[in-house]
Amino acid sequence: MKVVAFNGSPRKKGNTAGSLNTVLAEIEKQGIETELIHVGKEKIRGCKACFSCAKKQNQQCVIKDDPVNDWIQKMVEADGILLGSPVYFSGVAGTMKSFLDRAFFVATTNNSLYRHKVGASVAAVRRSGGVPTMDELNHYIIYSEMVMPNSNYWNVAHGMNPGEMEQDGEGKQIMEVLGQNMAWLMKVMEVGKKEIPAPAPPAKVMTNFIR
Ligand SMILES: Cc1cc2nc3c(=O)[nH]c(=O)nc-3n(C[C@H](O)[C@H](O)[C@H](O)COP(=O)(O)O)c2cc1C
């Protein structure tokens, strides 16, 4: 099994990376392979709302000059997906949001590519806005019919300068517990999926609140 993690910060050794690495270390202890991808420094524009992904059904975004399509395939191949963002103005950092909007729109328009995978989110923050940022990341996971493990508090670690989250003892523990629970849930689902078939996806009903 494999978990692919995405660091929404431009800082490869920042507090988001520190948080994600703490989760991933616990997952690796359980014999599950991991990969950490750095999103925040890439040039990634937002979704064009062209619906090409829906029309072509090719599991790809029409924008091809950035790594988003490679990362979509990495998520398709993974059993678990971990999202992390620094808190910028009490929300997800812009480059990360551009990536997520596109990668998850492709997934939803192509028969729910990440359906029933295990997914979780973490946020790194100096002071305030951690919980809304984690919530915002969780929207992608919830929408995709993924299954979410939790920790013993909200998945937020505190720090301003790179590495400071290492001093946040509670934040570190939250990330460790999340990693342990994520690995456990993945193993449980691996066994359970063989025994209990997943419900068949229905044809999607869409009501746009217009008469
Ligand atoms: C553009 C920008 C906006 C920020 N907005 C907030 C904020 O709303 N609340 C906060 O507590 N910290 C804010 N911060 C601080 C970062 O969340 C904090 O430094 C965090 O540890 C960065 O994570 P990183 O090391 O992974 O980049 C902001 C930083 C930047 C650069």
Distance 160 CA to ligand 1 centre (A): 7
Q: pTM for the full model?
A: 0.98
Give me the pLDDT at residue 159, please: 98
Mean pLDDT in the chain? 97
**Ligand 1, atom 5, residue with closest C-alpha:** 88
Calculate mean pLDDT across residues 162-183. 98
Distance 87 CA to ligand 1 centre (A): 5
Calculate mean pLDDT across residues 54-72. 98
196-205, long-range: CB < 8 A, 24+ apart: 198/116, 201/111, 201/112, 201/115, 201/145
Distance 157 CA to ligand 1 centre (A): 11
How many Å is the maximal CA-CA distance in the chain? Answer: 55
Look at residue 211 and tell me whether its pLDDT is greater than 80: no
Give me the pLDDT at residue 5, please: 99
Give me the torsion for CA of 104, 83, 147, 59, rounded to 10°.
30
Look at residue 44 and tell me whether its pLDDT is greater than 80: yes
Cα angle 51, 56, 62 (rounded to 5 degrees) comes to 60
Burial of 210 (0-12, 13-18, 19+ CB in 10 A): exposed
For residue 137, the surrounding DSSP H or E stretch is helix 130-143
List the domains of the chain with CATH numbers: 2-195 (3.40.50.360)
- Beta strand pairing call for 80-88 and 118-125: parallel
- Among 126, 128, 165, say which to mutate for ligand 1: greatest number of ligand atoms within 8 Å of CB: 126
**Ligand 1, atom 4, residue with closest C-alpha:** 88
- Only one residue has tokens 């990969």, namely 35
